[in-house]
């Protein structure tokens, strides 16, 4: 990928919040540009101040923030960055949120609940964003919450191609951890040319809010199973799924997951789990206390850099995804 011309650098400007400096640096390097110098301060009362140290008038601004914990702090920081760009006359402002905040709150499950994913889209728009770029939304309908272009990118090709290069696929089966991820698992199955299995979770009526029974639909005995999902949070569900596969006679169990949230007991659970390897991307930075021997992290930076370039050059992001 060639460096941007001086004319392009003047108009394409890359900004990053403080959540994931490593990813920001990788993207800037791949684009052949530099992150715009910024002054960011968190005051004693936790309010955030942002000032960009270069003129942004007339630029195409791309504002990167990975929404790891504390999510609310990093979301507010990104909103303030967007507002500063709008007030400084940036021409277009693209939000880059590799892990969309509040994506799991995409609908009402009961009365008097919020739809927080819609609220986040409204906040981005009110701040001045004209476009959103994200990776593997928890629910695809979130794209409709924003009144403007949404570039929904997928981590599946990156993860699947790593699996294809490392493992013998002759005795492989792709496994969906629940009914909600069947479409995702089907895409992996098509790309890898492997059969598909599904884990059906049933709740014990005598134990509230606890999944106690996992039924495996499909042949997994003696096979290498690839469990696929969009995120790992506390790792309870996916570790139980791996155990269910082992009980059904699976030879090896691998996980391929886009977003490594890895909250609370996740590291301990994964280290004690039945997994042989857990493959994730770096849409989120790993918490400093997380140490998982089985973890492999792949960089999402090349995909984001290509998508940024496609948007900036008025190219097709859909065509980019079809080539993966």
Looking up residue 135, the CATH number of its domain turns out to be: 3.40.50.2020
Total structural domains within the chain: 2
Chain center to CA of 310: 19
Q: Is 7 a catalytic residue?
A: no
Same domain as 42, residue 62: yes
**238 and 260, same domain (yes or no):** yes
> Does some domain include residue 236?
yes
> Do 101 and 129 belong to one domain?
yes
Examine the domain organization and report whether 144 and 167 are in the same domain: no
Considering only CA atoms, which of 115, 118, 104, 127 is closest in space to residue 146?
Answer: 118
Is 1 part of a structural domain of the chain? no
Q: Per residue of the chain (324 residues), what is the pLDDT tens digit?
A: 455 554 444 589 999 999 999 999 999 999 999 999 999 999 999 999 999 999 999 999 999 999 999 999 999 999 999 999 999 999 999 999 999 999 999 999 899 999 999 999 999 999 999 999 999 999 999 999 999 999 999 999 999 999 999 999 999 999 999 888 999 999 999 999 999 999 987 665 565 445 555 789 999 999 999 999 999 999 998 999 999 999 999 999 999 999 999 999 999 999 999 999 999 999 999 988 899 999 999 999 999 999 999 999 999 888 887 767
- Report how far residue 85's alpha carbon sits from residue 93's, in angstroms, rounded to the nearest whole number: 8
In this structure, are 264 and 136 located in the same domain? no
pTM for the full predicted model: 0.92
284 and 169 in a common domain:
yes
Distances (CA, A) of 229 to 11, 201, 255, 293: 37, 15, 8, 20
> Of residues 86, 164, 201, 246, which has the active-site annotation?
201
Give the structural domain span for 192: 156-298
Question: How open is the CA angle 262-112-134, to the nearest 5 degrees?
Answer: 40
175 and 290 together in one domain:
yes
Domain membership flag for residue 15: yes
Q: Return d(Cα 262, Cα 283) in angstroms, integer.
A: 12
């Amino acid at each position: 990928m060639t460096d941007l011309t001086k004319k392009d650098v003047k108009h394409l400007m890359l900004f990053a919040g403080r959540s994931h400096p490593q990813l920001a640096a990788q993207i800037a390097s791949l684009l052949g540009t530099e992150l715009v110098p910024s002054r960011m301060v968190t005051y004693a009362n936790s309010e955030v101040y942002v000032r960009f140290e270069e003129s942004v008038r007339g630029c195409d601004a791309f504002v990167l923030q990975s929404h790891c914990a504390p999510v609310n702090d990093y979301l507010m920081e990104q909103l303030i960055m967007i507002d500063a760009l709008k007030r400084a006359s940036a021409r277009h402002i693209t939000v880059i949120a590799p892990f969309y905040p509040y994506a799991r709150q995409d609908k009402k499950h009961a009365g008097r609940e919020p739809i927080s994913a819609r609220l986040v889209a409204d906040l981005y728009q009110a701040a001045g964003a004209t476009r959103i770029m994200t990776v593997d939304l928890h629910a695809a309908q979130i794209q409709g919450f924003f009144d403007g272009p949404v570039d929904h990118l997928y981590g599946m090709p990156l993860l699947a191609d790593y699996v294809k290069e490392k493992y013998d696929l002759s005795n492989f089966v792709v496994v969906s951890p629940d009914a909600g991820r069947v479409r995702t698992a089907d895409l992996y199955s098509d790309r890898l040319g492997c059969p598909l299995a599904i884990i059906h979770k049933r709740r014990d009526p005598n134990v509230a809010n606890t999944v106690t029974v996992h039924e495996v639909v499909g042949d997994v005995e003696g096979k290498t199973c690839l469990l696929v999902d969009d995120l790992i949070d506390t790792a309870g569900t996916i570790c139980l799924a791996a155990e269910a596969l082992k009980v059904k006679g699976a030879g090896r169990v691998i996980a391929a997951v886009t977003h490594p949230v890895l909250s609370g007991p996740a590291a301990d659970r994964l280290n004690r789990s039945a997994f042989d390897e857990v493959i994730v991307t770096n849409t989120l930075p790993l918490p400093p206390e997380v140490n998982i021997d089985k973890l492999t992290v792949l960089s999402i930076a090349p995909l984001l850099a290509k998508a940024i370039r496609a948007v900036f050059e008025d190219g097709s992001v859909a065509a980019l995804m079809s080539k993966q």
